[in-house]
């Protein structure tokens, strides 16, 4: 018998590598998109005019006779490599090539707005005054927004009185039929779109329902861009609510828009291409209100793209996600990203439910339109008690309501599955005249105000239970249940505020527990910002209302607040690194509300903790002058990844640096990254065990030349924390000094698998600046 052919041997090898089952017929060889990381030191042979030619030619020879076409070529500004659709067999072949560092499966990400059905929220606006609003302050800076595009015709994006585009700007504006390059101006200085990865998975997009251009058919990108850098617009309001001045955080900064999100979501392969383009174009800040599941950094295209940007001095802020209030829900957790959760403003939109028994139940709404008759009450039903499928009717899903049951009535629906505004549409279609939207237990007491298509209000989980009880307690011989909704407009000076939004994603950090995340909270509830003309405020196609501004909630709205502020900080301190800017935000953040008490957690009404707000709520004025900063360089992050036990190969995928971990691993632990917060997790074993750790930190003087800082340490409850030295004497600006914080604790009584988190803080003070860092200790009892 002849010896086995090489192909046969290869197949044997492949089947041995692929996961079971082994039978060839059961192997799924359906192609999917991969992001291919190419060794950064691999030199393109000079016969190829571009990297695309080189990569395509390599694919053609390796995967003939039917080589796939490249989706994106990453130029190397933020990432080296390309994306391509491959079968699992082709992926294995490519993976084995010497120039290939790794293959990342493409992932789908989602916008972090609560308008998407799965999330909830409540909140406030961006009309707090920006810093130095009348000068050209910040006009040299370009903020990149990676989102759903932009509606360029909004007043928030006019370029009146702006100086010429900064000469360092290398970006451009695409030219398409629905987005002519004249859409750009001295405010919107760049606009590009990235859909090759999206179309590789979903097929050609439907150009009736979305624009194959930077034009925004959703509204999210227009909203986030105007939060970061919208111009002053007065009067601004959405259908009469939140009337006042609207302005972004950095009204003079320039915007560059990179559209990466489409109706079916946002793909990593496109997001990475946008990072690459933004870095090459010369932006100063990147804002990303998008996220997905947390994976190790070497598999996370957002973490990788953000690293490339940080390495070029670009500040990257990202939304924490709307998966709260549960623990471990925070996303976008890489230490080189600033991760932003959401808090309320001191403004809300009360719309109370008045029940037939006289009871008034607090609600929240920005409905505007024909109201309910004043003084009149209406029959009230709970959709879940309609005969038939009680589950789908309780949620007011499409087609689930019987007009005979709901016509002429106020209908209570539960949250979940379809969007909040869509439920209103379902009730309206079935003839209902109003809606009460009740939170489920997981939503807690956090309320989201929406632009509903009928008179409607949102109530908390406890209130929902109370209304259900009122409805079900009605006896046949007593008067039937009734209600009305009283819309009270915009209320200012709400106390307490800020409150951490229920939906805001929480720590601990699932990937690096020794890095506290989120880093900060910023306004993310009921935020008023620009809105496309062609999209209704409720986002429902049958809703034909138009508005220049809309009110949205989500960590998506919190992130661009920090992005715009980062542009202002960078304008004031051009030499600051991204880490220095982050440090300024974190060490000056506050944790008390406008009553002087610890910020509350909207989901429970109890005090919130560092797992909810990180270092606290951003304080723009104080961040401008922090006194000291905790700076970090690319090499500090490489050491951190070494100490997080990433392989040198995986570190290279993230950092494009040849890491030699032996030194870092000898020298320290991952908690020694020079982060502006300090966190440690102790595993408990013996009863007598004493646990201790130290945090080594370096602070850089960015305040006055000569200054003396003294430390005050408040240890986590029941623990001992000390600092050495207790005094730092600076002689000049830019000087760096080290200190060491030691934390010791004893075993806590915990059930197997249980854990307890305690926090304290250290504050360095020179009398003019307080530089504060949380100290967070978690004790875990193994199972
Ligand atoms: C494209 O979108 C429009 C509007 O949503 C819809 O009517 C049409 O059926 C869609 N076409 C395809 C091919 O899906
Ligand atoms: C909120 O506080 C109350 C009273 O201190 C406590 O009983 C309850 O467990 C707390 N809820 C949560 C979710 O921590
Ligand atoms: C890395 O590995 C070392 C040695 O096994 C271990 O002591 C350390 O806790 C690990 N660090 C992390 C962050 O997992
Ligand atoms: C620093 O903190 C102390 C104690 O909370 C406070 O009394 C002082 O006013 C703060 N100083 C500044 C400059 O914020």
CA of 606 to the centre of ligand 2 (A): 6
pLDDT in tens, 146-199: 999 999 999 999 999 899 999 999 999 999 999 999 999 999 999 999 999 999
- DSSP secondary-structure letter at 159? -
Q: What is the largest CA-CA distance in the chain?
A: 96
Atom of ligand 3 nearest to the CA of 512: 13
Catalytic residue among 51, 220, 223, 452: 220
Give residue-wise pLDDT tens across range 717-734: 999 999 999 999 999 999
Please identify which residue in the block is written with the tokens 């070529």.
73
Q: For residues 671-679, give the mean pLDDT.
A: 96
Q: Is the pLDDT of residue 24 over 60?
A: no
% of residues, the chain, pLDDT over 70:
92
Question: Residue 206: nearest ligand to its CA?
Answer: 1
Q: Which ligand is nearest to the CA of 502?
A: 2
**What's the pLDDT tens digit per position in 586-626?**
999 999 999 999 999 999 899 999 999 999 999 988 999 99
- Region class of 321: left (phi > 0), else alpha (psi between -120 and 50), else beta: left
443-496 pLDDT tens trace: 788 888 888 999 999 999 999 999 999 999 888 888 899 999 999 988 888 899
Residues having CB within 6 Å of any atom of ligand 3: 644-645, 670
How many angstroms is it from 771 CA to the middle of ligand 4? Answer: 10
**DSSP reduced 3-state for 51:** helix
Q: Which ligand is nearest to the CA of 604?
A: 2
pLDDT of residue 449: 87
Asked whether residue 15 carries a pLDDT value surpassing 50, the answer given is no
Q: What is the mean pLDDT of residues 292-298?
A: 95
Residue % of the chain over a pLDDT of 90: 74
Which ligand gives the minimal distance to the CA of 609?
2
CA–CA dist 246, 37 (Å, integer): 43
Lowest model confidence (mean pLDDT) among 75-84, 436-445, 459-468: 436-445
Lowest mean pLDDT among 7-11, 41-45, 254-258, 558-562: 7-11
Q: Residue 281 above 90 pLDDT?
A: yes
Nearest atom of ligand 2 to the alpha carbon of 604: 13
Closest CA to 464 of 380, 526, 405, 538: 380
* Residues paired with residue 38 on neighbouring β-strands, in sequence order: 100
For the CA of 627, the nearest ligand: 4
Integer Cα distance of 446 and 504 in angstroms: 10
Catalytic residue among 127, 147, 612, 636: 147
Catalytic residue from among 217, 226, 319, 556: 556
Given pLDDT bands bounded at 50, 70 and 90, which one contains residue 35? very high
The residue-averaged pLDDT of 218-245 equals: 83
Count the neighbouring beta carbons within 10 Å of the beta carbon of residue 554: 32
Q: May I ask the CATH architecture of the domain 110-343+497-623?
A: 3-Layer(aba) Sandwich (3.40)
CA separation for the pair 311, 305 (Å, rounded): 10
Measuring CA to CA, which residue among 646, 673, 671 is closest to residue 659?
A: 646
Confidence band (pLDDT; 50, 70, 90) for 549? confident
| Ligand 1 neighbours (beta carbon < 6 A) | 206, 208-209
- For 523-541, write each residue's pLDDT tens digit: 999 888 899 988 988 888 8
Is 0.85 surpassed by the pTM of this model?
yes
pLDDT at 300 (0 to 100):
97
Could you tell me where in the chain the CATH 3.50.30.30 domains are found? 350-489
| 437 or 14, which is more confident | 437
Per-residue pLDDT at 130? 37
Mean pLDDT of the chain: 90
Residue 370, token pair as written in the block: 């024909």
User: Residue 68 — left, alpha, or beta (φ > 0 → left; ψ -120 to 50 → alpha)?
Assistant: beta
Could you tell me which residues are beta bridge partners of residue 36? 82, 103
Residues of the chain with CATH 2.60.40.2310: 628-632+674-780
The reported pLDDT for the residue numbered 246 is 66
Question: Ligand 1: which atom is nearest the Cα of residue 207?
Answer: 1
Rounded to whole angstroms, the Cα distance separating 282 from 313 reads 10
Which class in CATH covers the domain with range 350-489?
alpha beta
What is residue 655's predicted lDDT score, i.e. its pLDDT?
95
Q: Is residue 768 within 6 Å of ligand 4 at its C-beta?
A: yes
> Which residue has 């060491």 as its token pair?
740
> Residue 710: CB within 6 Å of ligand 4?
no
The CATH 3.40.50.200 domain(s) of the chain lie at: 110-343+497-623
Give the model confidence (pLDDT) of 621-664 as tens digits. 899 999 999 999 999 999 999 999 999 999 999 999 888 888 76
Has 477 been annotated as catalytic? no
The pLDDT assigned to 375 comes to: 86
- Count how many Cα atoms sit within 13 Å of the Cα of residue 561 in the half-sphere of its side chain: 35
In the chain, CATH 3.30.70.80 covers 6-105
pLDDT band for position 120 (cuts 50, 70, 90): very low
Q: For domain 628-632+674-780, give the fold.
A: Immunoglobulin-like (2.60.40)
Query: Is the pLDDT assigned to residue 121 strictly greater than 90?
Result: no
Ligand 1 centre to CA of 206 (Å) is 6
Class of the CATH domain delimited by 6-105: alpha beta
Q: Is 770 in the pocket of ligand 4 (CB under 6 A)?
A: yes
Average pLDDT (373-401) is 89
Per-residue DSSP letters for 497-562?
---B-TTS---S-SS-TTS-SS-EEEE-SSEEEE--TTS-TT--TT-----SEEEE-SHHHHHHHH
Residue 29: the pLDDT is 80
- Stated as kind and residue range, the H or E segment containing 255 is strand 254-259
Torsion, CA 610, CA 614, CA 620, CA 626, rounded to 10: 90
Nearest-CA neighbor of 340 among 122, 529, 136, 501? 501
Predicted pLDDT of residue 12: 39
Report how far ligand 1's centroid is from the alpha carbon of 374 (Å): 42
- Interstrand relation of 755-765 and 707-714 (parallel, antiparallel or unpaired): antiparallel
Q: Which residue among 461, 502, 604 is best mutated to probe the pocket of ligand 2, counting the most ligand atoms within 8 A of its Cβ?
A: 604
Residues 386 and 511: their CA atoms lie apart, in Å, by: 45
- Quick one: pLDDT at residue 211? 97
Ligand 4 geometric centre to CA of 317 (Å): 28
Which residue's alpha carbon is nearest to atom 2 within ligand 2? Answer: 606
Please say if 220 is a catalytic residue.
yes
Highest mean pLDDT pick, 57-66, 438-447, 670-679 = 670-679
**pLDDT category, 123, cuts 50, 70, 90?**
very low
360 CA to middle of ligand 2, Å? 25
Q: Which of 614, 555, 585, 524 is nearest to 289 (CA)?
A: 555
Shortest-distance Cα residue to atom 10 of ligand 2: 606
**Quick check: CB of 604 below 6 Å from ligand 2?**
yes
Kind and range of the H or E element at 243?
strand 241-246
Assign residue 396 a region: left if phi > 0, alpha if psi is -120 to 50, beta otherwise? left
The question of whether 147 is a catalytic residue gets the answer: yes
In this structure, what token pair is assigned to residue 281?
A: 């174009």
Predicted local confidence at residue 343, as pLDDT: 95
Measure 211 CA to ligand 1 centroid, in angstroms. 13
pLDDT at 584: 98
């Amino acid at each position: 018998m002849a010896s086995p052919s090489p192909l046969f041997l290869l197949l044997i090898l492949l089947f041995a590598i692929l996961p079971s089952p082994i039978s060839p017929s059961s192997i799924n060889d359906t192609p999917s998109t991969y992001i291919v990381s190419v060794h950064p030191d691999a030199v393109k042979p000079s016969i190829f005019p571009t990297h695309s030619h080189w990569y395509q030619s390599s694919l053609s020879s390796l995967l003939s006779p039917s080589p796939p076409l490249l989706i994106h070529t990453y130029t190397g500004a933020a990432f080296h490599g390309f994306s391509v659709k491959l079968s699992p067999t082709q992926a294995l072949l490519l993976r084995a090539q010497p120039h290939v560092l790794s293959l990342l499966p493409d992932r789908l990400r989602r916008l972090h707005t609560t308008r998407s059905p799965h999330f909830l929220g409540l909140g406030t606006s961006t009309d707090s005054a920006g810093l130095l609003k009348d000068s050209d302050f910040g006009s040299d800076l370009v903020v990149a927004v990676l989102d759903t595009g932009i509606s360029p015709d909004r007043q928030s994006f006019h370029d009146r009185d702006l100086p010429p585009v900064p000469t360092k700007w290398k970006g451009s504006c695409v030219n398409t039929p629905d987005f002519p390059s004249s859409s750009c101006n001295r405010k919107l200085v760049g606009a590009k779109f990235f859909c090759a990865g999206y179309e590789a998975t979903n097929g050609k997009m439907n150009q009736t329902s979305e624009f194959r251009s930077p034009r925004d058919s959703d509204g999210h990108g227009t909203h986030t861009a105007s939060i970061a850098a919208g111009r002053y617009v007065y009067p601004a309001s959405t259908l009469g609510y939140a009337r006042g001045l609207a302005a972004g955080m950095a009204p003079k900064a320039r915007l560059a828009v990179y559209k990466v999100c489409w109706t079916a979501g946002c793909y990593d392969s496109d997001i990475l291409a946008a990072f690459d383009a933004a870095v090459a174009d010369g932006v100063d800040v990147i804002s990303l209100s998008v996220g997905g599941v947390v994976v190790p950094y070497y598999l996370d295209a957002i973490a990788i793209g953000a690293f490339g940007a940080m390495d070029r001095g670009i500040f990257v802020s990202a939304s924490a996600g709307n998966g709260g209030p549960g623990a471990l829900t925070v996303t976008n957790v890489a230490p080189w990203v600033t991760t932003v959760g959401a808090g309320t403003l001191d403004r809300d939109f009360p719309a109370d439910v008045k029940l037939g028994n006289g009871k008034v139940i607090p609600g929240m709404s920005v409905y505007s339109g024909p109201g309910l008759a004043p003084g009149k009450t209406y029959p009230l039903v709970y959709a879940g008690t309609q005969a038939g499928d009680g589950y789908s009717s309780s949620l007011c899903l499409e087609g689930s309501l019987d007009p005979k049951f709901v016509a002429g009535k106020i209908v209570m629906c539960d949250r979940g599955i379809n969007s909040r505004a869509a439920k209103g549409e379902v009730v309206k279609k079935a003839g209902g005249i109003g809606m009460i939207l009740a939170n489920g237990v997981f939503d807690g007491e956090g309320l989201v105000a929406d632009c509903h298509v009928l008179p409607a209000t949102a109530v908390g989980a406890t209130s929902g239970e109370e209304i259900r009880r009122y409805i079900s307690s009605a006896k046949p011989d007593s008067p039937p249940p009734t209600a009305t909704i009283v819309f009270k407009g915009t209320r200012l000076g709400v106390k307490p505020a800020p409150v951490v939004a229920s939906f805001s994603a929480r720590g601990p950090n699932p990937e690096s527990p020794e890095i506290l995340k989120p880093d900060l909270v910023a306004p993310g509830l009921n935020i008023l910002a620009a809105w496309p003309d062609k999209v209704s405020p409720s986002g429902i196609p049958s809703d034909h209302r138009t508005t220049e501004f809309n009110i949205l909630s989500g960590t998506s709205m919190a992130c661009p607040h920090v992005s715009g502020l980062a542009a202002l900080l960078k304008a004031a301190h051009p030499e600051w690194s991204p880490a220095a800017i982050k440090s300024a935000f974190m060490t000056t953040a506050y944790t008390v509300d406008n009553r002087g008490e610890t910020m509350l957690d909207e989901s429970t009404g109890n005090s919130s903790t560092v797992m909810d707000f990180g270092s606290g709520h951003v304080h723009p004025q104080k961040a401008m002058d922090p006194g000291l900063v905790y700076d970090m360089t690319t090499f500090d992050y490489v050491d951190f990844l070494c100490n997080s036990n990433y392989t040198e190969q995986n570190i290279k995928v993230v950092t494009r640096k040849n890491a030699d971990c032996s030194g870092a691993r000898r020298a320290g632990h991952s908690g020694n990254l020079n982060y502006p917060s300090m966190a440690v997790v102790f595993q408990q074993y013996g009863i007598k065990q004493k646990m201790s750790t130290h945090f080594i930190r370096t602070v850089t003087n960015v305040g006055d030349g000569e200054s003396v800082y003294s430390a005050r340490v408040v240890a986590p409850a029941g623990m001992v924390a000390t600092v050495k030295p207790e005094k730092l004497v600076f002689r000049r600006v830019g000087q760096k000094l080290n200190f060491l914080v030691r934390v010791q604790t004893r075993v806590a009584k915990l059930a197997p698998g249980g854990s307890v988190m305690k926090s304290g803080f250290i504050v360095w003070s020179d009398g003019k600046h307080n530089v504060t860092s949380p100290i967070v200790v978690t004790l875990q009892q193994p199972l």
